[in-house]
Amino acid sequence: FRHLFLNLVFKAWRAYVRQEHRKRNKCDVADCHAKKQQLLGTWQCWLVYVDVQRTKHGMQSVAVAFRERSCLRVSWALWRRRQHQKCAEHKMNILALQHWAQNLQFRAWLQWRELYLYSQNEKKKEMRAVTHCQQWKLKRCMKVWLVYLNLHRAKKHQNELAQEHHQSRIVQQCFADWQLSWECRRRMCAHQKDIEKLAGRIALWRVFACWKHYVALCAEETRRRELAEKHYRHQLLVLQKFWNRWKSRL
């Protein structure tokens, strides 16, 4: 029971650690995402500002050239005033867009945070329900285990008595079986000795038969050689006879 309880506590603690780790990772991801969005907004504003400055410098250069060419100071002042107004309006529009984007990101982050907190609360409720169910099951298992333990003890006592009686019968039966196997082994040893003697006789008879066959083969080979030599001598005599006759005719 202690081992099972510690195992359940360890599983609950491990689930809690994993949950906290996931929560920390999600918070880190949200902070990183917010920083990236802020940096992206700043970078876009800076790009717009640089573009506006380039356009402004270009327009100022054109205006200066126009003023130098036309020498119309009044028109130049009017155009410059209008240019300043347009730049101011453009900057105001950029600031308004930036403010709107930041508000939109902040609202989205608030909604995500509310959903995350709601999901965390739901998970906590589920964990509490699971813990309560596990505790109830543990109590029930404990009661069943106690009943089983008492039954097991009674059954164990009966089994010990039966085992003692069975062991005594097994000892008697083993002694009878050993005596019977010893008698069979003694008979088998005698039979094995008889078989070994018979095998020795059979092996000796086979060796004698092989030797007899070998002697017969040697005699046959000798007879064939003698016949071959006689045939060869006969052919030599015939050849010599024909040779002598051919020389006499020649």
Q: Do residues 93 and 47 make contact, with C-beta atoms less than 8 angstroms apart?
A: no
The length of the chain in residues reads 250
Tokens of 16: 């809690």
- Say if residue 109's pLDDT is above 70: yes
- Say if residue 76's pLDDT is above 80: no
The pLDDT value given to residue 170:
83
- pLDDT > 90 fraction of the chain, expressed in percent and rounded: 0
Among candidates 143, 128, 156, which has minimal Cα distance to 1? Answer: 143
Give 180-224 pLDDT, tens digit per residue.
888 888 888 888 888 888 888 888 888 888 888 888 888 888 888
- Using CA atoms, how far apart are residues 167 and 165, in angstroms rounded to an integer? 5
- Say if residue 70's pLDDT is above 70: no
Reported as a pLDDT band with limits 50, 70 and 90, residue 126 is confident
- Using CA atoms, how far apart are residues 212 and 220, in angstroms rounded to an integer? 12
- Using CA atoms, how far apart are residues 52 and 136, in angstroms rounded to an integer? 71
Mean local confidence (pLDDT), 30-57:
85
DSSP string, 74-92: HHHHHHHHHHHHHHHHHHH
The pLDDT value given to residue 72:
62
Q: Do residues 36 and 45 make contact, with C-beta atoms less than 8 angstroms apart?
A: no
In sequence order, what are the residues at sequence separation of 6 or more whose Cβ sits closer than 8 angstroms to the Cβ of residue 147? none
The pLDDT value given to residue 71:
67
Which of 31-35, 102-106, 141-145, 215-219 is predicted most confidently? 215-219
- Say if residue 74's pLDDT is above 80: no
- Using CA atoms, how far apart are residues 227 and 235, in angstroms rounded to an integer? 12
What are the backbone angles phi and psi of residue 72, rounded to the nearest 5°? -105, 90
Tokens of 226: 């003698």
- Using CA atoms, how far apart are residues 24 and 30, in angstroms rounded to an integer? 10
- Say if residue 63's pLDDT is above 80: no
- Say if residue 69's pLDDT is above 80: no
Mean local confidence (pLDDT), 168-180:
82
The pLDDT value given to residue 161:
85
Strands (E), 61-214: none
- Say if residue 120's pLDDT is above 70: yes
Q: Which residue has better confidence, 141 or 73?
A: 141
Angle at 210 between CA 204 and CA 216, to 5 degrees: 140
The pLDDT value given to residue 67:
67
Residue matched to tokens 């164990």: 156
- Say if residue 68's pLDDT is above 80: no
Q: Looking at residue 157, what DSSP letter applies?
A: H
Mean local confidence (pLDDT), 21-36:
86
Going 66 to 69 to 74 to 77, the CA torsion angle's sign is positive
Specify the amino acid at residue 64.
V
Mean local confidence (pLDDT), 227-242:
85
Tokens of 186: 């003694």
Specify the amino acid at residue 147.
V
Helix, strand or coil, per DSSP, at residue 5 = helix
The pLDDT value given to residue 231:
87
